[in-house]
Amino acid sequence: MKVLITRPKQKAKNFSDMLIENGFEPLILPTLELSFKKVDVSLDNYDWIVFTSPRGIEGLFKNLTEIQKSQIKDKKIGVIGIETAKEFKKIFNFDPDLVPNSYTAENLLEALKKVVKPGEKILIPTTPATRDVLVKNLNADLLFVYSSEEPKDISENLDNLKELLKNTGSDNLILTFTSGLTAKNFFKHVDDELMNLFKKCKVVSIGPITKENVDKFGFDSLMPEKTYTIDGMMELIKNLKN
């Protein structure tokens, strides 16, 4: 069974390796490219640093001086979920203070509201494409440390995929999406013929926000019940195969 990966090329390998280990054939068709930005960082005015993706952690780290890297330990750290928590500990070598039980911006917001004290200020290293749930409802500033850009070869890669599916059939293909933006960039290049082929595919979204975006294109995508991560998607995909 084939599984289409639409996440950025830099982040596709881990998912691809997991699929191969479990007997699947991964097809990598990135619909996002990550580009890290050079920005000036000032940590002095912030009590909290909150991350909504592992890329925000990596992007901030790339911009910190050695002194600032040590200052991070003096800040309170919130992250959106366990994958982001793992990335934070991997890079900064200590655990974040806050990880909500359910991995959406809305749940992170509610968790932060319970612990952020009046007057405390939050820094959110992120991308311009970020949802505005947190910054609208908290005393927070956004710092754009990376961007997610659309690759120029999506249409060409979809044409190749179409020919493959016409020759081999599409009922043994699973489409996967790890963000709403991967879905939007993907489906805007899909013509009617290819969309009809996709109607025979299973579709898996990483979580509820991604599912909402995918389903706008006429699908009822599946998603992990609790863990909105690549690991959760992998368990779901294995169940589909069985």
Q: What is the mean pLDDT of the chain?
A: 94
Going by pLDDT thresholds of 50, 70 and 90, the confidence category of residue 103 is confident
Could you tell me the two tokens for 192?
Answer: 């009617």
What are phi and psi for residue 237, nearest 5 degrees?
-65, -40
**C-alpha span between 209 and 105 (Å, rounded):** 9
pLDDT score of 19 more than 90: yes
**C-alpha span between 191 and 9 (Å, rounded):** 23
Yes or no: say if 19 and 26 are a contact pair by the CB < 8 Å rule: yes
Could you tell me the two tokens for 162?
Answer: 């179409």
Q: Which of 26, 25, 40, 30 is nearest to 10 (CA)?
A: 30
pLDDT score of 11 more than 90: no
Going by pLDDT thresholds of 50, 70 and 90, the confidence category of residue 154 is very high
Going by pLDDT thresholds of 50, 70 and 90, the confidence category of residue 241 is confident
**First vs last C-alpha separation in the chain:** 11
The structural domains of the chain, with segments of one domain joined by +, span 91-114+137-149
